[in-house]
Structure 1
Amino acid sequence: MALFTKEPEKNPKIQPVTAPHAASTPPAPVASTSTMTPRGTGPAPAEGRAYLDRGSKITGKISFEGAARIDGEVDGEISSKDSLTIGESAVVTAQIRAASVSVAGKVSGDIVATQRIEIRPSAKVSGNITAPVLSVQEGAQFEGHCSMQPEGIRDDRKVTVFPKEERVAQAAGGLKQA
């Protein structure tokens, strides 16, 4: 066998031919996304989960049916019917709506969750948050207003403010009757 000559090889090796039934089936994947770790940045996304990796930039509305993780940049609106994880490298300038939200990166915008919001130590959140359960871990930065009532209750609540004279008269009337 000649390695570096211009002459063609006299006895070329014959490559085996695959059976016709093998050609009709798609090739098996080398590795599934549930076992790969993208760029060594942490745990791989679970099967059936959306993942926006570092270096990705999206402007506009994003909607997820299932669980999702964002490690890139998003500017706009994000909604998820399941859990949403904002990774440490993420920079999000968006209004967020999801069942539960876990923030480890930077978020500027309001966050509304129907179940829970978790703000991790590496997080920087600037905006209003609404969720029935809130967890802010030591070291996290949060600037904004917080409401721990379900959104529907907050919208239905009505506040009536009486002029000061009426409040004083009502308070005095209540004391005389007692």
Structure 2
Amino acid sequence: MSKNEQEFTQIGRSVQVDGDITGKTDLRIAGKVYGNISIDGELILEKYAIVEGDVKCGAAILAGSIKGDVDCKTKLILQDNSKIVGNVKAEQLIINEGAIFQGNCDMNEALAAKKEK
């Protein structure tokens, strides 16, 4: 299945989720999630979105805020108005000017060294 045909889930701006979210698809959040998120796909967090809980995902593009730890298998991008209060683990981290990040960062050196070979 191509990326364009891949299933994704969207949580609208007026939606609030109280509880954990798990899945194998991409996830776009514009609303609020109070719980942990664990997905295999990409997480897209829109500008006014709020997540209070730990996040595990394949990759992430964040413009909203997360209060919790973030663990991405590949790339984590913090847009200019994003905010993370928690620890981050990612193979690649991109922080745009204006983003706020409070916590520790672990960029898995073994994965990075493997790519260089």
AA aligned to 2:38 is S
Partner Cα separation in structure 2 for residue 124 and residue 113 of structure 1:
16
Q: Give TM-score scaled by structure 2 length.
A: 0.85
Number of aligned residue pairs: give it.
Answer: 107
Would you say 1:60 and 2:19 are equivalent positions?
A: yes
Larger radius of gyration: 1
The runs of 5 or more residues in structure 2 that have no matched partner are 112-117
Task: Decide whether the 8 Å contact of 2:90 with 2:106 is kept in 1.
Answer: yes
Quick one: percent identity of the two aligned structures?
27
Q: Give TM-score scaled by structure 1 length.
A: 0.57
Between Structure 1 and Structure 2, which shows a larger proportion of helix residues? 1
Of 101, 121, 140, 2:99 maps to 140
SS in 1 for 2:81: coil
Partner Cα separation in structure 1 for residue 83 and residue 59 of structure 2:
17
Task: Decide whether the 8 Å contact of 2:6 with 2:25 is kept in 1.
Answer: no
Q: Higher relative contact order by CA 8 Å / sep ≥ 6: 1 or 2? A: 2
Partner Cα separation in structure 1 for residue 6 and residue 47 of structure 2:
21
SS in 1 for 2:71: strand
Would you say 1:113 and 2:77 are equivalent positions?
A: no
Runs (4 or more) in structure 1 with deviation over 6 Å come to: none
Between Structure 1 and Structure 2, which shows a larger proportion of strand residues? 2
When the two chains are superposed, the root-mean-square deviation of aligned CA atoms in Å is 1.8
Task: Decide whether the 8 Å contact of 2:23 with 2:39 is kept in 1.
Answer: yes
Residue in structure 2 matched with residue 128 of structure 1 by the alignment: 87
The runs of 5 or more residues in structure 1 that have no matched partner are 1-45, 153-178
